[in-house]
């Protein structure tokens, strides 16, 4: 479904809001407004001396993870194929994941595991122990059984399950039972930025795909960057470095008696200064002078991740950053129809024309190029990319695709990952089985909260900090799923 069109009306208030997101680092605000939680933060006593970044790759529309990560042992594969029908991938087309690049990987339940045939490079990263797979994860208020789901008892189910907008919000806030206000990435930035980035030149939260809920904070604003660089003011006044630009800067520097004019001038001046700083800092990585070890795809996602790689290369030095959070996104995963071509994979060894193949091939190529870029600039151990999506999809086919689901499988990639391993379990592949709501929508056995807490711990947050960022985490047995190496 396309987003509704928003009238292009620019009020004074909306200008200040947009310019604030695009051009204000919020460092001054975080210095002036100290959240009381910071008093007890472990960072206050021991600010970080190293650099780390989190990169959220959001797959908008609800990726069908049932065909992304698939059991390859014959008994379980046969269950998979019987229910998936024309969506089932041929067993021979699945790319077998290996333990440390040698013997076939086998999980604690005895399953061998394969990845979608588009994922040759993701298989390489798994086999190199640089990628972990998190299975059957989703939005949860608290752990829930099938009986509890069917009883619909108050406070057991996340509200508005299977709704795109609600599940995107719940994934990105990690607080499904409270009105949305801030994202869990934004809350991390609120807590860490004043201590980790006291001299930071840009916001800790950077988005390559516009406004998002994940990075919404109370103190730190999102900084929006395009795939070609900073989003700067344009027009005759702001073009080049001549007299008009200098005159504009002189006007902005004037002291205005009117508070609104002063605020307007401050926002514009910060936008100009920050944009110039960013574009100067990344100029050394402009192609063709700079060549990445693996070419980034020219897709929207490829261009987003390439810009993130350039910003990360500049971040520790040019921007005085110790911690950064990035967001990128790609869409098209609402595959109700045309998920595979023709009759699907049933009688085909491969499929390169179905929409899902093309989407996952882009994900594969983009993540691989990004990981090799991080290795090239020697920051692989310091940068972790993770995937997220609205939800997975129904296990049975609707004849042309699949419908909105719940529990999903996701990837975590980087040198700081305990890779070459899966975390969590496959659901029991049975309609009306123990993991099914009743229509092939898997009830998650791992919560987004646990996934987020594991990343937050690696990022440097202590237990009390994590509880402040993820207030529901105490409802789950484990706050650390183990897929990250010690901080």
| pLDDT for res 248 | 61
Res 228 pLDDT > 80: yes
Average pLDDT over residues 452-471: 96
| pLDDT for res 380 | 98
Instruction: Write the pLDDT tens digit of every residue in 238-257.
Output: 445 555 666 666 665 667 66
Res 237 pLDDT > 50: no
Q: Exposure pattern of 162-177 as b/e (b: 16+ CB <10 Å)?
A: bebebbbbbbbbbbbb
Res 20 pLDDT > 60: no
| pLDDT for res 258 | 63
181 vs 423: which has the higher pLDDT:
423
179 falls in which pLDDT band (50, 70, 90)? confident
d(CA 260, CA 373): 44
- For residue 13, the surrounding DSSP H or E stretch is helix 12-23
| pLDDT for res 41 | 58
Res 395 pLDDT > 90: yes
286 falls in which pLDDT band (50, 70, 90)? confident
| pLDDT for res 276 | 81
| pLDDT for res 253 | 62
Res 321 pLDDT > 70: yes
Least confident of 79-88, 98-107, 217-226: 98-107
d(CA 280, CA 314): 10
Res 275 pLDDT > 90: no
DSSP E strand boundaries for 309-433: 323-330, 383-389, 408-413, 421-423
Average pLDDT over residues 127-148: 97
Tokens representing 402 are 């699949």
Average pLDDT over residues 171-190: 94
Res 6 pLDDT > 90: no
Res 348 pLDDT > 90: no
Res 14 pLDDT > 70: no
**Separate counts of helices (H) and strands (E) for the chain:** 14, 15
d(CA 487, CA 468): 19
Average pLDDT over residues 472-487: 96
CATH (residue range 12-475): 3.40.720
Res 265 pLDDT > 60: no
pTM of the model: 0.86
271 falls in which pLDDT band (50, 70, 90)? low
| pLDDT for res 246 | 63
Res 294 pLDDT > 80: yes
- Write down the mean pLDDT value for the chain: 85
* Cβ atoms 275, 232 nearer than 8 A: yes
């Amino acid at each position: 479904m396309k987003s509704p069109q928003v009238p292009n009306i620019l009020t004074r208030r909306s200008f200040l809001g947009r310019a604030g997101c695009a051009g204000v680092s919020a460092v001054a605000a975080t210095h002036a407004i100290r959240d009381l939680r910071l008093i007890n933060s472990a960072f206050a006593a021991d600010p970080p001396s190293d650099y780390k970044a989190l990169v959220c790759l959001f797959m908008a529309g609800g990726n069908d993870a049932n065909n992304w990560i698939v059991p390859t042992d014959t008994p379980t594969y046969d269950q998979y194929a019987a229910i998936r029908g024309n969506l089932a991938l041929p067993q021979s087309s699945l790319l077998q994941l290996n333990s440390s690049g040698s013997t076939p990987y086998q999980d604690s339940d005895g399953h061998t595991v394969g990845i979608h045939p588009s994922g040759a490079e993701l298989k390489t990263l798994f086999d190199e122990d640089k990628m972990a797979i998190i299975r059957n994860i989703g939005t949860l208020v608290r752990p829930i059984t099938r009986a509890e789901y069917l009883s619909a008892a108050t406070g057991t189910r996340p509200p508005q399950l299977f709704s795109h907008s609600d599940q995107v919000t719940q994934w990105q806030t990690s607080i499904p039972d409270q009105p949305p206000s801030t994202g869990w990435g934004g809350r991390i930035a609120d807590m860490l930025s004043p201590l980790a980035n006291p001299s930071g030149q840009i916001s800790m939260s950077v988005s390559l795909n516009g406004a998002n809920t994940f990075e919404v904070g109370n103190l730190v604003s999102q900084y929006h960057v395009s795939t070609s660089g900073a989003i700067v003011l344009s027009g005759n006044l702001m073009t080049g470095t001549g007299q008009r630009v200098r005159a504009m800067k002189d006007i902005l520097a004037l002291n205005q008696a009117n508070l609104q004019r002063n605020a307007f001038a401050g926002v514009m001046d910060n936008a100009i200064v920050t944009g110039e700083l960013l574009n100067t800092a990344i100029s050394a990585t402009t192609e063709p002078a700079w060549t990445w070890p693996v070419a980034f795809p020219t897709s929207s996602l490829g261009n987003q991740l390439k810009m993130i790689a350039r910003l990360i290369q500049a971040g520790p030095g040019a921007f005085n950053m110790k911690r950064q959070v990035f967001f990128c996104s790609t869409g098209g995963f609402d595959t109700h129809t045309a998920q595979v071509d023709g009759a699907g994979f049933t009688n085909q060894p491969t499929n390169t024309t179905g929409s899902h193949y093309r989407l996952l091939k882009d994900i594969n190529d983009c993540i691989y190029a990004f990981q090799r870029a991080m290795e090239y600039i020697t920051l692989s151990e310091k940068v972790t990319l993770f995937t997220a999506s609205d939800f997975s999809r129904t296990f049975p086919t609707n004849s042309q695709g699949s419908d909105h689901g719940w529990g999903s499988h996701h990837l975590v990639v980087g040198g700081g990952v305990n890779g070459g391993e899966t975390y969590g379990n496959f659901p029991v592949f049975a309609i009306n089985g123990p993991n099914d709501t009743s229509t092939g929508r898997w009830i998650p056995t791992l919560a987004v909260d646990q996934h987020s807490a594991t990343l937050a711990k690696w990022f440097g947050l202590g237990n009390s900090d994590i509880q402040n960022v993820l207030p529901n985490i105490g409802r789950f047995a484990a706050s650390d799923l183990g897929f990250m190496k010690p901080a």
